[in-house]
Amino acid sequence: MTNTTCWIDIPQNSDFSIYNIPFGIFSTTLHTPRVGIAIGNQILDLVAASELGIFSSLDFSTHVFSSTTLNSFIALGKEITSKVRTIIQEELTNADSVLKTDSSVFVNQKVAQMHLPVFVGDYTDFYSSIEHATNVGTMFRDPNNALLPNWKHIPVGYHGRASSIVVSNVNVHRPMGQTIAPDAIEPTYGPSKRVDFELEMAYIIGKKTNLGDTVNVANAEEYIFGKVLFNDWSARDIQKWEYVPLGPFLAKNFASSISPWIVTMEALEPFKVAGPEQIPEVLPYLEYTGERNYDIGLQVAIKPENGEETVVSNSNFKYMYWNMAQQLAHHTMNGCNINVGDMMGSGTISGKSKDSYGSMLELSWAGKKPLKLKDGSERTFIADNDTVIMRGFCEKDGKRVGFGEVKTKLLPIKK
């Protein structure tokens, strides 16, 4: 939409501008969990807004706004969800809007509790940053041949655990597991000593397919409702011991954290950019035209208990080698079906400079180069009671669309 003025007071540099309109699930002491949208520091309660009749021109049951997840709303399809978003934008810029007559339709974000926005039936994590894959391959394999032979031919991924995906501000515990010392013959059991964050984004499936169906690169984004920030926690020492021969397992499934607001693909459309050149040429089913990457600035900070946060990484989603359309086309090329609410992680997002790496594994170079925080302490990996905070936003031509943050505290092992 063109530059316009919202009658709600929106702080300067707010992630939740009139150009955004992200969807989430919130509750308060007076409100059961329900659908809302973020605007400035407020939440528009879509149950209350629908009772004022603003969606009367659309043919759908507004009972979907009373649901504890967004799945039923998203399943209505973009022909409805996009129009709902547009109507909200129109009402918030209309000085005579009926929403101005009832202040109870708005809730201050400070008094709201945010919930996991969708029921995640299945979760897949990709490995699509060439910078990240090269860094890991350089550390652990051959610096002159860091990428495995298949990496530039397929969007590598694995099936993760949906049950342990949690929303921002839900704390997680340091995991236990098997690890092996560098010169040891036998493993030992105990707490992971190398808990790490992974700076990722995830997209939410908005349209189901049937078993045997495939999704084409050209129309893949029709199957994506929107995106969230994603911290894919990892226990690097557990992972190193267990990942051969079948890949990540206990090192990854103890927790993954997401931001609570889903930013729609419509809101992100103005921020499309060209992706990196893919050499060698990909197979025909992965070929695409146009701009399919997104210019989303990303930041990671570590906050020690009772301390000040230190920004440790500034990256960008635009660096991704494999884009979302290619990921989804590859995911379904064998007939694998997808469902509304399924979540697809991007894989760790690293940039080209050392301060843009998306994990402590890279930032500390496998623990060899500690990072100094503002309080003078050092980190090679995440310490007990550290809080990891990820933020992300797009900005262009005076328009800002952001994701808020995903904030998670790492607690000691659970006794």
Query: Residues 6 or more apart from 103 whose CB is under 8 A from it?
Result: none
- What is the distance, to the nearest Å, from the Cα of residue 115 to the centroid of all Cα atoms in its chain? 15
Q: How far apart are CA 121 and CA 255, in angstroms?
A: 15
Residue pLDDT, tens place only, 14-69:
999 999 999 999 999 999 999 999 999 999 999 999 999 999 999 999 999 999 99
Whether the predicted pLDDT of 3 surpasses 80: no
Pick the CATH number of 123-411 from 3.90.850.10, 3.30.450.20, 1.10.760.10, 2.40.160.20: 3.90.850.10
Q: What is the CATH number of domain 23-115?
A: 2.30.30.230
* DSSP labels, 172-202: EEPPEEEE--TT-SS-EEEE-S-EE-BEEEE
Show which residues are catalytic: 132
Q: How far apart are CA 54 and CA 105, in angstroms?
A: 12
Please, where in the chain does CATH 3.90.850.10 lie? Answer: 123-411
Residue pLDDT, tens place only, 170-202:
999 999 999 999 899 999 999 999 999 999 999
Please, where in the chain does CATH 2.30.30.230 lie? Answer: 23-115
Residue pLDDT, tens place only, 220-241:
999 999 999 999 999 999 999 9
Q: Of 15, 411, 347, 387, whose CA–CA distance to 199 is shortest?
A: 347
